[in-house]
Amino acid sequence: MTAPAPSDKALVPFVSVENMMRLVHHIGIERVLTELTDVIEADFRRWALFDKTPRVASHSREGVIELMPTSDGEIYSFKYVNGHPKNMAEGLQTVTAFGLLADVSTGYPVLLTEMTLLTALRTAATSAMAARHLAPKGATTMAMIGNGAQAEFQALAMKAVLGITHIRLFDIDPKATEKTRRNLEGSGLHVTACATSQAAIEGAQIITTCTADKQYATILTDNMVGAGVHINAIGGDCPGKTELHRDILSRADTFVEYPPQTRIEGEIQQMDPDYPVTELWQVVTGEVEGRRSDKQITLFDSVGFAIEDFSALRYVRERVRGTAFFQSVDLIADPDDPRDLFGMLQRAKD
């Protein structure tokens, strides 16, 4: 006996890695980054509507596996994501991910998608969104410290959203810097490969740190950071992993996504529990002023938060409608009689 074909309500759109790449090229990567920045900012403006909780993390000596859930009351989302710095030496990605959107009213999934590429895009878009509110006006140069898988996305987001024209690169692995320089050829950016982190930050109004090692590290020391710069610290994302010397934090005005998560995982884990921070959504809505002076050091201590993933997922859901950039997956059991799941199983016998 042949099982009946699944109904439309049992079919879930699935965006594979191949289709995600096709979608991005169809739209254009800089346009994707610009649109995604605006979608994330729109969701930050309605921050109060969302369920918020620190991600559920399972830590090991090798890395971390996390679930990142949230809901705005109508749509629920989660992302599965790992962070394993040792993977690179084995030819594997440091970070991989997939995600899901579901209809709150029925609990039925409405989108399943890869999120390794999408996380890179949303991370860069979030950095650009923060910099749009916190970086010095008219900034033209960004230093990119750490030239791994995220570097090109960060550079292109800053170009597309802020108009950055110059990127200065440094990584302890010269091959990573050469990879990034090569990938940014033809992007319209003026790219300079630097031999030291100190050289990379010369003349930069924005400094982005994005390193992978799971340790307390000092990528930037206090004497390296002059007045008036904006720092995107995006590499620290779990307990025991930082990038900035604590003296920098003592001088900076620090902005975060969700304090209960950032105090565990971000740069501010080095500081006292009462170290003052401002939630970025308050700046986005105009409730709190972000950059107040030309000499102010602003720091976005970004660890990645579930609402940003929610934004990215809803963006993809809208963007794949009416396209060929997804497959329909038979993910939900759909018996003719909702009470007769066993009967559906029996009818599927050959």
Catalytic residues: 237
Between the alpha carbon of residue 303 and those of residues 38, 127, 180, the distances in Å are 19, 11, 23
Instruction: Please compute, for residue 151, the number of CA atoms within 13 A of its CA located in the half-sphere on the CB side.
Output: 26
Which residues have CB under 8 Å from 165's CB, separation 6+?
Answer: 140, 141, 159, 188, 189, 190
Burial of 80-106, coded b for 16+ CB within 10 Å and e otherwise, reads ebbbbbebeeeeeebbbbbbbbbeeee
- For residues 292, 294, 297, 301, the Cα torsion angle rounded to the nearest 10 degrees is 60
User: Rounded to the nearest 5°, which phi and psi values hold at 14?
Assistant: -120, 125
What's the per-residue H, E or C state across 53-71?
CCCEEEECCCCEEEEEEEE
Instruction: Please compute, for residue 92, the number of CA atoms within 13 A of its CA located in the half-sphere on the CB side.
Output: 11
Helix H or strand E encompassing 308:
helix 306-320
- For residues 152, 155, 159, 163, the Cα torsion angle rounded to the nearest 10 degrees is -170
Token match 């960060």: residue? 154
Tokens of 8: 């439309």
CA distance from start to end of the chain:
5
